[in-house]
Amino acid sequence: MPHTINIQRRRLLKFAGLTAAMATVYPFLSYAQGMIGMGNQAASDFEPDVEIELTQEVVDIPIFRGPETRVWKVFGKVLKGPETAIVNHAESYIAPTIQLQKGQRVRIILKNNLPAQSILHWHGMHVPSKMDGNPMYAINQGQTFVYEFKVLNRAGFYWYHAHTHSVTAKQVYSGLAGLFIVSDEEERALDLPRGEYDVALAIQDRTFDDQNQLYYNSHMMQRMQGFLGNQIVVNGQPDYVLPVASRAYRLRLLNGSNSRIYKLAWDDGTPMTVIGVDGGLLERPERRAYVMLAPGERREIWVDFSGKKVGSEMTLRSLSFEASMHGGMMGGMRGGMMGGMRGGMMGGRGMMMSGSDLPLGSDYAVLKVKVSRQAQAQDKLPEYLTTIKPLRLQDAANADTPRNILLSMRHMSALLNGRSYEMDDIRADEIIPVNTLQVIAFDNGFSGGMGMGMGMGGMMAMPHPMHIHGEQFQVLKREIDPRFKPAYESVEAGFVDSGWKDTVLVMPGEKVTILKPFNDYKGVFMYHCHNLEHEDMGMMRDFLVK
């Protein structure tokens, strides 16, 4: 078991990893630390099709009546290329939406006018290591980082956010996150709702104090669970109502929350018709009674309001589910585990821990849709959307030796294979040969670790949305420890695992195996839990692709 490796052996592994990997790739062992505050200049040989400037500022915006709310806001400007490349949202803290086409060469000039170090990461995009927004590239106030890359991704609903060492959660919470939409010819040829009928919605939770200021608490209990706000905001607005015409819509849903997991369903029993996930359209639409959406994940939903009267409403709710085990994580394990899980979660426990009156796994409204006008449209959902070539286990370079990543959470620590995040710390098992397909298993206490740890080390069973930078992956299989089955049954019908993914929710007692290509680019690419408090606690590591 990786976490039982003794210290000496760990040092050896570290040494082997560093000499083999770092010495040849980077001349200095402290390469990453040396990059902070260096910024990056435009390359003279890069001819962009689209050039964008993003400026990060501290501003006050009117979210409520009364005092304005101080936020960290990104302002966007198109310097070259189509004006549609940037859509600013003046009325909200949400960062501008970036809209690009596959194949475009883009230059993004990031200017940091915040009183803090910061860097932006393009979540889900397949870009060179240096353009990926690794925390090592954080820039200081007044500095500039120029990103240049070609859009290789297929059409899809990606996003971007701050990725600054140990303060990602706070910075995203303060406003440093936006949507990143890629389109391509194949998608444009489909008869899907477009223009104003294609709506992107970032779902987040926030807590505002009585002066309308964002409240963020990062004491240890809060960080263990992850921040939970007491109010849902959509595109930065509380009590969000989407006015629609009586016709079909394409709704793109992002969970941009720090830690909150949603179990989304229409309140009138209309099934959730999923047409896309993190990395773009599915092969065919899939209908679910509800859809799980973990931090970092996206779902695209097709929904038809035709035949509905003007004035009628539909609510998108998050339904109740059993999420995690707190407090009584140890003792009750032997024999009484189920009782412990149920008891630990359903009651006011989450509330006590988070200070939230909107506990994780409770039932609440997320947004409302209001039919505001009639429309004449004959909308038909295409039965077939795109071709998704399934990745095959036998094509993986490590088909017989999956890279196991053990997720563990103990008091004060959130670890991957027993390790916490450190810059310039690549171990032998984190080195990946470029242009290979890899099988990777995220093990959240499935392989016995939890049962043992529970009794002894005080391990906490929590869901972890696991994200890997770079290319999109495919989910190969899910396995659940039967002792966790009752809680699992409250969420499992809501997983959509058939398309291209960059983030996958791994429930307590579960092991999720994925197939991920590491093509084209060498260098450092992160993998981490997208519960941003967990990430900041160190539940994050680098792969070195070489």
Question: Which residues contact Cu ion (rule: CB under 5 A)?
Answer: 464, 529, 531, 534
Site map (CB under 6 A) of ligand C2O, residues 274-313, x = contact:
----------------------x-----------------
Residue 534 contacts which entry, Cu ion, ligand C2O, none (Cβ below 5-8 A, type-dependent):
Cu ion
For residue 260, state whether it binds ligand C2O (rule: CB under 6 A): no
CA distances from 186 to 183, 266, 497 (A): 8, 29, 22
The item of ligand C2O, Cu ion, none sharing an interface with residue 529, based on CB under 5 to 8 Å by kind, is: Cu ion
Contact partner at residue 469 from Cu ion, ligand C2O, none, CB < 5 to 8 Å by partner kind: ligand C2O
Sign of CA dihedral 199, 202, 207, 209: negative
Of 125 and 325, CB closest to ligand C2O: 125
From Cu ion, ligand C2O, none, which one binds at residue 531 (CB under 5 to 8 Å depending on kind)? Cu ion
Three-class secondary structure of residue 165 per DSSP: coil
- Rounded to a whole number of angstroms, the minimum distance from the CB of residue 176 to Cu ion is 20
Partnered with residue 157 across adjacent β-strands are 181
Name the residue among 358, 239, 372 with its Cα closest to residue 305. Answer: 372
Burial of 223 (0-12, 13-18, 19+ CB in 10 A): buried
Task: Name which of 367, 153, 92, 376 is nearest 276 in CA terms.
Answer: 153
Taking every pair of Cα atoms in the chain, the longest distance, rounded to a whole number of angstroms, is 71
Q: Which two tokens stand for residue 239?
A: 């009590």
Q: Which of 89, 123, 317, 419 touches ligand C2O (CB under 6 A)?
A: 123
Of residues 9-28, those binding ligand C2O (CB under 6 A): none
Question: 45 near 17, Cβ under 8 Å?
Answer: no
73 binds, among ligand C2O, Cu ion, none (CB under 5 to 8 A by kind): none
Give the count of beta carbons closer than 10 Å to the beta carbon of residue 528.
27
With CB under 6 A as the rule, give the number of residues binding ligand C2O.
10
From the list ligand C2O, Cu ion, none, partner contacted by residue 467 (C-beta under 5 to 8 A by kind) = ligand C2O
Q: How far is the CB of 459 from Cu ion (least distance, A)?
A: 13
Q: Judged by CB under 6 A, does residue 528 bind ligand C2O?
A: yes
Residue 302 CB, nearest distance to ligand C2O (Å)?
Answer: 25
| Residue closer to ligand C2O, measured from CB, 111 or 121 | 121
Per CB under 6 A, 526 contacts ligand C2O = yes
Residue 403 interacts with, from Cu ion, ligand C2O, none (CB under 5-8 Å by kind): none
Number of neighbours of residue 442 by Cβ within 10 angstroms: 25
To ligand C2O, the closest distance from the beta carbon of 376 in angstroms equals 40
* 106/529 with CB nearer Cu ion: 529
Q: Which is nearer to ligand C2O, 126 or 467 (CB)?
A: 467
Length of the chain: 546
Q: How far is residue 441's CA from residue 474's CA, in Å, rounded to a whole number? A: 12
Query: Residue 225 burial by CB count (10 A; 0-12/13-18/19+): exposed, middle or buried?
Result: buried
Q: Minimum distance from CB of 209 to ligand C2O (Å)? A: 27
The span from the CA of 111 to the CA of 74, in Å, is: 9
Which residue type is seen at 118?
A: S
Q: How far is the CB of 381 from ligand C2O (least distance, A)?
A: 30
Q: How far is the CB of 202 from ligand C2O (least distance, A)?
A: 13
User: Which among Cu ion, ligand C2O, none contacts residue 464 (Cβ within 5 to 8 A by kind)?
Assistant: Cu ion
The arrangement of strands across the sheet holding 436-444 comes to: 413-416, 403-410, 436-444, 510-518, 474-480
249/500 with CB nearer ligand C2O: 500
Distance CA 291, CA 282 (A): 14
Q: Name the minimum Å distance from CB 511 to Cu ion.
A: 15
Q: How far is the CB of 475 from Cu ion (least distance, A)?
A: 18
| Binding residue for ligand C2O, selected from 107, 111, 121, 250, defined by CB under 6 A | 121
- The Cα-based distances of 459 to 128, 414, 537 in angstroms read 37, 10, 15
- Spell out the SS3 assignment of 21-48: HHHHHCCCCCHHHHHCCCCECCCCCCCC
Taking the CA atoms of 503, 504, 509 and 511 in sequence, report the sign of the dihedral they define: negative
Nearer to ligand C2O, 250 or 530 (CB): 530
- Name the β-bridge partners of 405: 442
**Taking the complex as a whole, how short is the minimal distance between the CB of residue 530 and ligand C2O, in angstroms?**
6
* Window 160-219: residues binding ligand C2O (CB under 6 A): 161, 163
| CB-nearest residue to ligand C2O | 123
Alpha-carbon distance of 14 to 19, in angstroms, equals 9
- Report, in Å, the least distance between residue 41 CB and ligand C2O: 24
**CB closer to Cu ion, 345 vs 529:** 529
User: Closer to ligand C2O at the Cβ: 248 or 505?
Assistant: 505
Q: What span, in angstroms and rounded, lies between the C-alpha atoms of 379 and 256? A: 30
User: Structure tokens of 183?
Assistant: 């389109």
Binding region for ligand C2O (CB under 6 A): 121, 123, 161, 163, 296, 467, 469, 526, 528, 530
